[in-house]
């Protein structure tokens, strides 16, 4: 390889690096803009949000903590009443999200374990059905699910929100793709040592799939925390509203509480951010391992 050819390759590599870096910087800006703009807006009066919309306004003269004082009940007027309602919605969302994530991960793990580690008739067909359900939009399933929940008398209960999505096809498929990469010799060695099938799945395979659990915990938590449509259909009692539904009730034809809305929205990011920071070291490992073999 001549010196000129080497220089051309280096220049092409440098140009490609610059272009890709610039492209990802632009994408990163568009992703971060709503978050940063929302955070800045939470320190301004709600009327400015209506007048100017979201912007990167750094006018420190108008930036105050009044919205957050109102959120925590120190703003006078109806702030204590609104704060109590907000944190009730917050608690409802936390309970619902934690329960949903734990049950979904356990159910989907055991379903994926059975579809991956055991050979039986119709295994391929069952896996096909799991994948096929991923192609059906929720809007098509919404009415049958609502009729089913109504028939089971689960309307206005947490079970009515959790049970229909407990066996998530995407989570099952992800666990299955991760388990396919694991050596079957582990199972054979455990059986030779006298370990039961339940012990193999819980004490041997479950710790190995920790990255998959972490990845799915983040995605399931995000989906459950941000879910609004299905809980809105199931819950009828205002005391059981989740945070997303409750914040939506602040926008009415008779008046909009933008001060509480914008501060409450930003404060509502904290649980999902905490989950991500807690499991981020496993996220990339879990996402890439399931793509190595399938």
User: Residues 59, 113: one domain?
Assistant: no
| pLDDT at residue 10 in the model | 55
User: Residues 12, 134: one domain?
Assistant: no
Which of 37, 70, 103 is the C-terminal boundary of a domain? 70
* CA dist 134 → 160, 223, 228 (Å): 21, 15, 20
* Burial of 58 per CB tally in 10 Å (0-12, 13-18, 19+): exposed
Is there a domain that residue 141 lies in? Answer: yes
| pLDDT at residue 293 in the model | 45
| pLDDT at residue 92 in the model | 95
| pLDDT at residue 148 in the model | 92
Which of 70, 86, 103 is the C-terminal boundary of a domain? 70
User: Residues 26, 165: one domain?
Assistant: no
Kindly state the DSSP code that residue 98 receives in the 8-state scheme.
H
User: Residues 83, 178: one domain?
Assistant: yes
Own/partner pairs for 50-54, CB < 8 Å, 24+ apart?
50/256, 50/258
Domain around 161: 74-289
User: Residues 55, 147: one domain?
Assistant: no
How many CB atoms are located within 10 Å of the residue 180 CB?
A: 15
User: Residues 37, 52: one domain?
Assistant: yes
User: Residues 78, 56: one domain?
Assistant: no
Which of 16, 45, 70 is the C-terminal boundary of a domain? 70
Q: Are 241 and 216 in contact (CB under 8 A)?
A: no
E strand or H helix that includes residue 255: strand 255-256
Q: Give the residues across from 104 on adjacent strands.
A: none
User: Residues 132, 229: one domain?
Assistant: yes
User: Residues 194, 230: one domain?
Assistant: yes
User: Residues 78, 55: one domain?
Assistant: no
Q: How many domains does the chain have?
A: 2
| pLDDT at residue 110 in the model | 93
| pLDDT at residue 273 in the model | 87
Q: What is the pTM of this model?
A: 0.85
251 three-state secondary structure: strand
Q: Which residues of the chain have pLDDT under 70?
A: 1-13, 77, 253-255, 284-294
User: Residue 149 belongs to a domain with what CATH number?
Assistant: 1.10.3720.10
User: Residues 59, 82: one domain?
Assistant: no
Is there a domain that residue 294 lies in? Answer: no
Q: Are 62 and 48 in contact (CB under 8 A)?
A: yes
| pLDDT at residue 12 in the model | 57
């Amino acid at each position: 390889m001549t010196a000129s050819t080497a220089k051309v390759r280096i220049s092409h590599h440098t140009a490609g690096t610059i272009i890709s870096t610039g492209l990802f910087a632009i994408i990163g800006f568009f992703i971060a803009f709503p978050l940063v703009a929302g955070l800045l807006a939470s320190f301004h009066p709600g009327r400015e949000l209506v007048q100017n919309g979201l912007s990167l306004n750094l006018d420190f003269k108008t930036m105050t903590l009044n919205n957050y004082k109102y959120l925590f009940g120190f703003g006078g007027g109806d702030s204590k009443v609104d704060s109590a309602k907000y944190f009730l919605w917050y608690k409802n969302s936390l309970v619902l999200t934690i329960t949903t994530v734990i049950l979904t991960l356990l159910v989907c793990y055991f379903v994926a374990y059975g579809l991956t580690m055991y050979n039986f008739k119709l295994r391929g067909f069952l896996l096909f059905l799991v994948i096929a359900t991923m192609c059906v939009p929720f809007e098509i399933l919404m009415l049958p699910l609502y009729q089913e929940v109504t028939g089971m008398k689960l309307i206005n209960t947490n079970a009515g929100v959790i049970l229909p999505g407990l066996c998530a096809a995407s989570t099952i498929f992800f666990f299955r793709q991760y388990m396919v990469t694991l050596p079957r010799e582990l199972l054979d060695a455990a059986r030779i040592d006298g370990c039961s099938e339940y012990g193999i799945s819980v004490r041997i395979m479950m710790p190995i799939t920790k990255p998959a659990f972490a990845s799915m915990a983040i995605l399931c938590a995000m989906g459950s925390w941000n879910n609004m449509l299905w809980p809105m259909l199931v819950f009828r009692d205002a005391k059981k509203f989740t945070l997303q539904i409750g914040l939506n009730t602040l926008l009415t034809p008779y008046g909009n509480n933008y001060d509480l809305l914008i501060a409450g929205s930003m404060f509502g990011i904290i649980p999902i951010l905490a989950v991500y920071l807690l499991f981020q070291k496993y996220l990339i490992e879990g996402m890439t391992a399931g793509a190595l073999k399938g």
